[in-house]
Structure 1
């Protein structure tokens, strides 16, 4: 590979990592339009439901809060990316504390992604699939804003 091709590859790998990070941040910050725009126009989320298309995704994600889910926080790691031109596949591990009907829970799983570079140059999810390894009730009650350790409750 030429130096230019190598640099482009590194930029693409970085952009895909940023796409995955933004997914977690936009989901947790409830930035629904920004989240949906991380998917191709006909992009698919395959997880708690099978949802296809940006319009459907813009409705699906906020509606999760209308059901039993009260809050969630997404942490991802152990990314793999197999890059082939304008397409990429790979996996990311997920750790997800959440609150379901007032009860704290912990979930962990794996995202499997199909990602494409769109004509505008942006990388977007064609398919983002999540499968959980476990989803269990936490032994100690916790919720947003609870601090049992006083030093953790610092002003922002």
Structure 2
């Protein structure tokens, strides 16, 4: 009885984590165990309990993609006196690191001393980063009732670059 309750709890938690608000249906193991109680045959000692997969949100939040935040124009730091709010879009997230022949050759040349190591404060970027692939203009009204248009202010698409 305790094992069946534990199985029901695991199924409910799995469905809640996946965002399903449906009532879990009885599993084949559960039907078998109620039938075997009557026959006197013991059910399997370890029922199969589903292991919850990582939620889509946690995966997509860490991968490179377009994010947005609602903020006031004056918070952009561009010098506009405006209390108007805009939806500012930006790129954020991680990019998979795939070594190219260029990366391998550069590493070998650095280790062998053929290329000088970068000076302090000078960095070589050899890892891909999440960057905008194209931008969109934004228009807004300032506090003096004048329209302003800022070109390429907000990201419109993102990709791993590098």
After TM superposition, the score normalised by the length of structure 1 is 0.27
Structure holding more strand per residue? 1
Larger radius of gyration: 2
